[in-house]
């Protein structure tokens, strides 16, 4: 992971424009922010471990504003216990089959959850309603926070997965050539970005290799997939 200032220097090297000319530094910084957002949204590779403190009788809880998607595993630990009860996430439209037309939520140990609302105001809704207080452990893919484009954040790290800096630069270069109306250079940079993003998405969603696991293309592998 590199600082915004480092990305600015590397991007200008790619564009063969070491100082401000056609592309302003402000535009390039904004484009790098855009690259980080697009990568995070499409690859879901910026994963955060998080907790929710929940109370008895309350089934809906707000999520952080940076949530892209809630990921498994999701577990519930009652206060005073060390046991983690698994919670299964379901789509909102499927929730009706669990708690009925009038959302008649009973009380007990939560075993199901679904999402309500939309970014940046999303909530996690549990079923049944917790009969006791406790802690929910979960993971989520997040959006990065934009860095200022004035230069005051040039020493701050841009939130791009480590080792994939070139993918962010490919995106920014693509947008720069589009602004210049150089379609040939833009197409080349876009092709590199799409290819790099596909590799990042595969690696980001499978950060540990497990023998005998099912991969994204639904093929069963009985051994190591090299």
Q: Are residues 58 and 27 in the same domain?
A: no
156 shares a domain with 101: no
Domain that holds residue 168: 4-44+146-204
Handedness of CA 156, 145, 18, 188 (dihedral sign): positive
pLDDT at 104: 57
Q: Which residues of the chain carry a pLDDT beneath 50? A: 209, 212-226
87 in the same domain as 110 = yes
56 and 87 part of one domain:
yes
User: Looking at the domain assignment, is residue 71 inside a domain?
Assistant: yes
- Our count of domains for the chain comes to 2
Final residue belonging to a domain, choices 142, 161, 185: 142
Kindly state whether residues 61 and 14 are assigned to the same domain: no
In this structure, is residue 215 part of a structural domain? no
Q: So what's the pLDDT on residue 218?
A: 39
Question: So what's the pLDDT on residue 102?
Answer: 56
Rounded Cα gap, residues 141 and 50, in angstroms: 11
Same domain for 127 and 64: yes
The verdict on residue 220 lying in a domain is: no
Total-model pTM: 0.81
């Amino acid at each position: 992971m590199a600082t915004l200032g480092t990305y600015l220097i590397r991007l200008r090297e790619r564009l063969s424009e070491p100082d401000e000319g056609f592309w302003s530094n402000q535009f390039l910084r904004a484009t790098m922010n855009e690259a980080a957002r697009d990568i995070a949204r499409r690859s879901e590779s910026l994963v955060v471990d998080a907790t929710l403190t929940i109370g008895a009788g309350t089934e809906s809880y707000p999520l952080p504003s940076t949530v892209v998607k809630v990921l498994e595993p999701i577990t519930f630990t009652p206060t005073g216990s060390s046991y983690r009860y698994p919670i299964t996430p379901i789509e909102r439209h499927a929730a009706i089959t669990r708690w009925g037309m009038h959302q008649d939520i009973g009380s007990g140990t939560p075993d199901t959850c679904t999402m309500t609302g939309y970014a940046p105001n999303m909530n996690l809704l549990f079923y049944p309603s917790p009969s006791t207080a406790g802690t929910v452990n979960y993971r989520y893919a997040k959006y990065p926070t934009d860095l200022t484009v004035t230069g005051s954040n040039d020493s701050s790290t841009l939130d791009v997965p480590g080792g994939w800096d070139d993918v962010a630069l490919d995106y920014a270069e693509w947008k720069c050539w589009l602004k210049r109306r150089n379609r040939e250079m833009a197409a080349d940079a876009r092709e590199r970005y799409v290819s790099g993003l596909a590799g990042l998405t595969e690696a980001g969603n499978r950060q540990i290799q497990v023998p005998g696991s099912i991969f994204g293309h639904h093929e069963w592998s009985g051994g190591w997939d090299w």
